[in-house]
Amino acid sequence: MRSAPARSIGRSCVLLFALTAARQSPATTVLLPIGDLEPQYASQLCWAAVDTIAVNSFFPSCGTTAPIGTSQSTEAAYGKLGITSATLPSWLAAPSGSTKAMQLQSLLSACATNIQACNQSGIPILPGLTYQTNTNSMGLAWTEAVQQLQAGRPFLFVWKYPSGGLHQLIAIGYSDDSGEKLTIWDPLPIPDELPKSVPACGALALSTLGMTAKQLKSEHESQIDFSVYADPDADEGVAADHLLDQYDLARIEQPNPPGNLQIESLMRPAPPTPGTPAAARPASEPFAPALRNARKEGERVLDLLHREHRSGGRLSLGTPFAVVGVGLDELRATGGDPKVLLTQTTSAVLFPVLANGAVVDSFTVLLRRGRWTRGGYSNTAVADRLVQVRARYAKARHLPDRDLYMVSVPGREAFFAAYGVGNMAVLIPASNDPSIGATAGKAEPAMQQLGRLAAAVRIPRPPGTPAPRAP
């Protein structure tokens, strides 16, 4: 599952929980009983997944009469049409046979038939719900988050990467048994078996995705320190900040109140300003000394995990990954040039945690102010996939696992095991993503894969605007 254990420094969708109070102690655990918890069905649909989860916790019925729930295909159609929380009522009220109504129905059908063709970033508009937006850079206070969850209200939150891109998650519970911890649902990673058709309301059957309920929960639900929610520092080794929350979710009562437009202005990406430099990378070290210097902190963290883990086996550190973080602005500025991006230096090391040979946890160690310390956020399901594709590639080519590193592009929700330097490097995707031509486990020259990534995130420039300079 995705985890972000306690850390000493600050820095990738929540729904209803059943309140469980431990009567023999003051510790409290709340977990909302959500009937529709699902992964994102395509690489850019984290926002649609958390939107669907939140809405369907209030509208669990998928009947033929209103109010009904929603789905990722429906939200994706709204996103492609640029529909906002304020304009949705007029679209839904358009007369049958009108151009507007036919346009909406056509796209709803197209996205339900082929969700991968509707794979693009967007904004949760939470149809049928009212909500508040919090733009405090540290998010909700602990007491506020607790109040939301005790009232049976999930809340959505967004992390922003200064180097480009967003990731959206949802909080579904909390615990104060061993410190202040949020239970979150992260819609990443996307399923190994990518779906095509998606219903207009509700989730796909897990059998369609080749998953069990236990696997779904283990890959997407986890507890994180509340401090990580408020200040993630780094997500998968790439600098990240808390951007905003959508909270106080409630069903709309007649008459309909106006939509909340604040979130839409904050989250829509703006074209880069000519001459604006790319976000500076943190201080880094070459791979070999970085892995060596981070090891001591990794072993210290492992000792802490032994006290809190209930995996049923002795924990050990797997072979770590040096992490090369790549921002969307860097991709745009360089065109995905591996000679510039794959520098063989790092400020983050990912440690898989093993029990009985299986990945059961993960964490990152970051180089901050000259010291390697535990920090940031790590998705254990992603780490597990990276370990698997690394092992297969290394075995086939008689390489030691330590020779492979991780290329992390969380702003595009893309993660790779990698081998080699510059134009000679290859990338091995951890997940399938047709939108960038990525097949899980299939190695490709870095120049080709990074080039397709750069094309996928390119923002059209106004006529006459010069291309940004490479960092």
**Low-confidence winner among 62-66, 131-135, 433-437, 463-467 (lowest mean pLDDT):** 463-467
Closest CA to 186 of 30, 35, 47: 47
> Is 33 within a domain?
yes
308 shares a domain with 201: no
| pLDDT at 5 (0 to 100) | 41
Give the contacts of 347 (CB within 8 A, at least 6 positions apart): 237, 281, 282, 283, 284, 285, 290, 323, 325, 366, 367
Cite the DSSP H helix spans in 309-406. 328-334, 338-341, 380-396
Tell me, yes or no, whether 432 and 327 share the same domain. yes
Are residue 83 and residue 192 in the same domain, yes or no? yes
CA distance 425 to 446: 5
Q: Kindly state whether residues 118 and 255 are assigned to the same domain.
A: yes
- Is 200 among the domain residues? yes
Q: Which two tokens stand for residue 438?
A: 């990525």
Q: Are residues 308 and 261 in the same domain?
A: no
The H-assigned helical ranges of 221-363 are: 226-230, 262-267, 287-308, 328-334, 338-341
DSSP 438: B
Angle between helices 72-80 and 99-113 (to 10 degrees): 130
pLDDT tier at 462 (50, 70, 90 boundaries)? very low
Same domain, 253 and 304: no
**Residues 295 and 406 occupy one common structural domain:** yes
Looking at per-residue pLDDT, the higher value among 187 and 35 belongs to: 187
Domain carrying residue 123: 2-267
Asked if residue 274 is part of any domain, the answer here is no
What CA–CA distance (Å, rounded) separates 184 from 147? 16
What value, to the nearest 5°, has the Cα angle with vertex 318 and ends 183 and 326?
70
Q: Are residues 49 and 185 in the same domain?
A: yes
Structural domain includes residue 273:
no
Domain check: are 256 and 289 in the same one? no
Cα–Cα dist 21/242, whole Å? 30
SS3 90: helix
Identify the helix (H) or strand (E) that includes residue 444: strand 444-445
Mean pLDDT taken over the chain: 86
Region 145-172: what's the mean pLDDT? 96
Residue 314 lies in a domain: yes
Provide the b/e sequence for 321-337 (b: ≥16 CB within 10 Å): bbbbbbbbbbbbbbbbb
Same domain, 215 and 290: no
Q: HSE of 208 in the Cβ direction (CA atoms, 13 Å)?
A: 12
CA–CA separation, 424 vs 341, rounded Å?
13
**Residue 35 DSSP symbol:** S
19 pLDDT band, cuts 50/70/90, is: very low
Q: Place 466 in a pLDDT band, splitting at 50, 70 and 90.
A: very low
If pLDDT is split at 50, 70 and 90, which confidence band does 371 have?
very high
Dihedral-angle region of residue 350 (phi above 0 means left; psi in -120 to 50 means alpha; beta otherwise): beta
Q: Over range 9-17, report the average pLDDT.
A: 36
pTM: 0.86
Domain assignment of residue 98, yes or no: yes
Span 223-276, pLDDT tens digits: 999 999 999 999 999 999 999 999 999 998 754 444 454 566 666 655 555 455
305 or 366, higher pLDDT: 366
**How many separate domains does the chain show?**
2
- Report yes or no on 204 lying in a domain: yes
- 233, 267, 301: which is the final residue of a domain? 267
Domain final residue pick, 267, 295, 323: 267
State both tokens at 208: 């369609």
Domain end position, chosen among 217, 234, 267: 267
CA dist 219 and 349 (Å) reads 21
In a shared domain, residues 149 and 10: yes
β-strands 345-346, 371-374 pairing: unpaired
**Domain for residue 277, yes or no?**
no
Q: Distance from CA of residue 400 to its chain's centroid?
A: 30
Percent of the chain whose predicted confidence (pLDDT) is above 70? 83
**Stretch 438-458: mean pLDDT:** 96
- Please check whether residues 250 and 140 belong to one and the same domain: yes
